[in-house]
């Protein structure tokens, strides 16, 4: 069921966008009437937008309030708020179809939950997804594992997630001991895990989970938050999940953390670790809350970093 998208892309063809400096090995194709997509070696990656969520800027509790507001105003964010894109990524390699994270379903209201429509627009039927890989199990990443009827959204998919992450979110003790607000954080996981428990493939360590895809431990945002390195020949790309929640704030201030982080200090450490690597080696990154289509390269500027969106 991917014929329609291939036809759409065929009309515009694949071309490197004029005026953009592309990292070696990464080709962006974007016909006017098609969704953007990238190729990296023999991986083809299509970004899919689940929607836009609005959060209070005060979730960045350790930020200087004036500096925080200046950065958000420069980025055109509304007073007191930060609007974040929620991205997921479709990966195709040969006959293998993979989805990384699944968006929110209806857990955060009507501005989100668009993944099913985005998949359809990309010409992919949910039953074609063979593997779902999760960066972590917060609601905006696991919500879409379940459809509007409470059924499995991806009937034929194996689920890949860090073992410690699965264990944490499926623990009745952890749920029972959470506050009411904390218990809402379990909503997506608790709806999904019974539907996938017979086809979950928990991973730990850095061993390859699918051909050319290796996990990168980036803990702190959640207990076992994980990025993924895609390697094909000499080319590579990193999907870093929620290393950055607010691009406006956390490239300028990698040390700033949010109340979404399970272990803020560890989250900041993981962010700086991956920033250093991708800046030094100019590895393109995809992020779940980078501005859609969610891709960029990172430059170091003293203690700060800058994102060049792709």
Q: Helix, strand, or coil here: 235?
A: strand
Contact indicator for 247, 258 with CB cutoff of 8 Å: no
Please provide the DSSP assignment of 45-69 as one string.
Answer: EEEEEEEEEEEEGGG-TTS-HHHHH
For the CB of residue 92, give the shortest distance to Zn ion in the complex, in Å: 23
Contact indicator for 270, 221 with CB cutoff of 8 Å: yes
> For Zn ion, which is the closer residue by CB, 50 or 235?
50
For the CB of residue 254, give the shortest distance to Zn ion in the complex, in Å: 17
Chain residues that interact with Zn ion, rule: CB under 5 A: 140, 242
**Residue among 144, 131, 125 nearest 51 (CA):** 144
> For Zn ion, which is the closer residue by CB, 44 or 114?
114
> For Zn ion, which is the closer residue by CB, 34 or 112?
112
For the CB of residue 96, give the shortest distance to Zn ion in the complex, in Å: 25
For the CB of residue 273, give the shortest distance to Zn ion in the complex, in Å: 19
> For Zn ion, which is the closer residue by CB, 135 or 236?
135
Distance of CA 260 to the CA centre of its chain: 15
Angle in degrees, CA 119, 147, 258, rounded to 5: 80
Residue 292, CA distances (Å) to 48, 165, 189 in order? 8, 26, 25
Q: What is the largest CA-CA distance in the chain?
A: 55
Edge-to-edge strand list for the sheet holding 285-286: 213-217, 226-232, 235-239, 285-286, 295-301, 304-309
Cα–Cα distance measured from residue 278 to residue 283, given in angstroms and rounded to the nearest whole number:
5
Q: In the 8-state DSSP scheme, what is residue 280?
A: H
For the CB of residue 186, give the shortest distance to Zn ion in the complex, in Å: 15
> For Zn ion, which is the closer residue by CB, 85 or 242?
242
Taking the chain, what is the end-to-end CA distance rounded to the nearest angstrom? 28
For the CB of residue 138, give the shortest distance to Zn ion in the complex, in Å: 5
> For Zn ion, which is the closer residue by CB, 57 or 242?
242
For the CB of residue 263, give the shortest distance to Zn ion in the complex, in Å: 16
> For Zn ion, which is the closer residue by CB, 22 or 262?
262
């Amino acid at each position: 069921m991917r014929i329609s998208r291939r036809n759409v892309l065929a009309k515009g063809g694949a071309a490197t966008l004029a005026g953009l400096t592309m990292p070696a090995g990464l080709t962006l194709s974007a016909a006017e009437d098609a969704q953007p997509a990238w190729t990296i070696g023999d991986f083809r990656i299509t970004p899919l937008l689940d929607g836009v969520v609005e959060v209070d800027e005060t979730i960045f509790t350790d930020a200087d309030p004036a500096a925080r507001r200046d950065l958000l105003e420069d980025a055109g964010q509304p007073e007191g708020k930060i609007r974040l894109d929620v991205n997921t990524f479709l990966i195709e390699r040969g006959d293998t179809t993979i989805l990384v994270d699944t968006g929110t379903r209806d857990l955060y209201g009507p501005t989100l939950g668009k993944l099913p429509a985005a998949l359809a627009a990309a010409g992919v039927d949910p039953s074609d997804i063979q593997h779902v890989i999760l960066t972590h199990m917060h609601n905006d990443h696991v919500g879409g594992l379940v459809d509007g009827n409470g059924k499995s959204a991806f009937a034929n998919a194996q689920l890949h997630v860090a073992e410690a992450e699965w264990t944490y979110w499926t623990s009745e003790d952890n749920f029972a001991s959470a506050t009411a607000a904390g218990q809402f954080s379990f909503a997506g996981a608790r709806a999904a895990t019974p539907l996938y428990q017979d086809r979950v493939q928990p991973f730990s360590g850095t061993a390859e989970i699918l051909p050319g895809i290796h996990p990168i431990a980036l803990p702190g945002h959640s207990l076992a938050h994980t990025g993924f390195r895609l390697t094909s020949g000499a080319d590579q790309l990193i999907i870093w999940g929620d290393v950055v929640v607010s691009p406006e704030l956390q490239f300028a201030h990698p040390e700033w953390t949010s109340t979404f982080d399970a272990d803020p200090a560890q989250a900041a450490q993981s962010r700086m670790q991956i920033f250093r690597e991708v800046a030094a080696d100019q590895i393109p990154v995809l992020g779940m809350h980078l501005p859609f289509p969610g891709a960029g390269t990172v430059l170091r500027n003293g203690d700060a970093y800058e994102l060049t969106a792709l």
